[in-house]
Amino acid sequence: MKLPLLAAVLACVSLVAVADEADVKKAVETRLGAVEKIVRAPMAGIWEVTVDGQIFYADDKASYLIFGNLLDMKTGRNLTAERQFNSLPLDLAVKQVRGSGKNVMVTFEDPNCGYCKKLAKDVLTLKDVTVYTFLYPVLGDDSFEKSKAIWCAPDKSKAWTDWMTAGKAPPAVPAKCDMTGLEKSAQLGRKMRVNGTPAIFFAGGERVGGYIPATEIEKRFGKSGG
């Protein structure tokens, strides 16, 4: 009789957990809109909720919402920023790999941005790095046209690097080219409140708004271990 009783207890616990999740999701949606994802946060009694690409936290009773970053007191890691970094749709980005590629950074850049071009040249000097660049044309119609040409190029990485570092125009846009990925990149930038280019994100959670030289990038790789 003990085993059936234990099974019944576990079933009740499971049902309560599901009900709690549903209640929290419903409560958050009444305030913030559609919930894209809800999971248990590392902190007891707290849920991590993603709405419109942004992470929020809610308590078990759905009485409170927390806007901000969750930090690990032992390690100093910004768990919220790390989670956002790891959830980025990198398949939409132009990817460059140098050396082993062990150090990872993500950028949002406009092809007509002067400081983005400076950053692109610095990237060529970095060792063992993977750079994911989301095309983010915010400087006018010509920026969009250049982004479109780079996105539609047979080799996006080469087209991007050639233009940004040597001023070599990307190939003409073919008659048929799916622009969905470029549009999603722009939507992502707006969701992440990228207001200028370049914007740089590191795997450790740090976000830098604006240009920094290769030496500063390498320092950040050293701090975060990539």
Tally the domains of the chain.
2
Residue 82 within a domain: no
On whether both 128 and 60 belong to a single domain, the answer is no
Q: Which two tokens stand for residue 62?
A: 């759905």
Give the DSSP letter string of 134-199: EE---S-HHHHHHHHHHHHSSSHHHHHHHHHHH-PPPPPPPS----HHHHHHHHHHHHTT--SS-E
CATH number of the domain bearing residue 17: 3.10.450.70
Whether 151 is in a domain gets the answer yes
Which range of residues forms the domain containing residue 61?
2-76
Cα–Cα distance, 141 to 145 (Å, whole number): 6
Same domain for 118 and 163, yes or no, is yes
Is residue 152 included in any domain, yes or no?
A: yes
Position 85 in a domain: no
**Boundary (domain end) residue, out of 76, 111, 128:** 76
* pLDDT computed for residue 226 by the predictor: 52
Q: Quick one: pLDDT at residue 204?
A: 83
Using only the alpha carbons of the chain, give its radius of gyration. Answer: 22
Record the pTM: 0.79
In this structure, the answer to whether residues 58 and 106 fall within a common structural domain is: no
Q: Same structural domain for residues 48 and 158?
A: no
Calculate the alpha carbon distances from 69 to 54, 78, 79, 181 in Å: 11, 7, 7, 29
Q: What is the pLDDT along the chain (226 residues), one digit of tens a residue?
A: 444 444 433 333 333 343 478 888 888 888 888 999 899 998 888 999 988 878 889 988 888 888 888 888 888 888 888 888 888 999 999 999 999 999 999 999 999 999 999 999 999 999 999 999 999 999 999 999 999 999 999 999 999 999 999 999 999 998 899 999 999 999 999 988 899 999 999 988 889 999 999 999 999 887 765 5
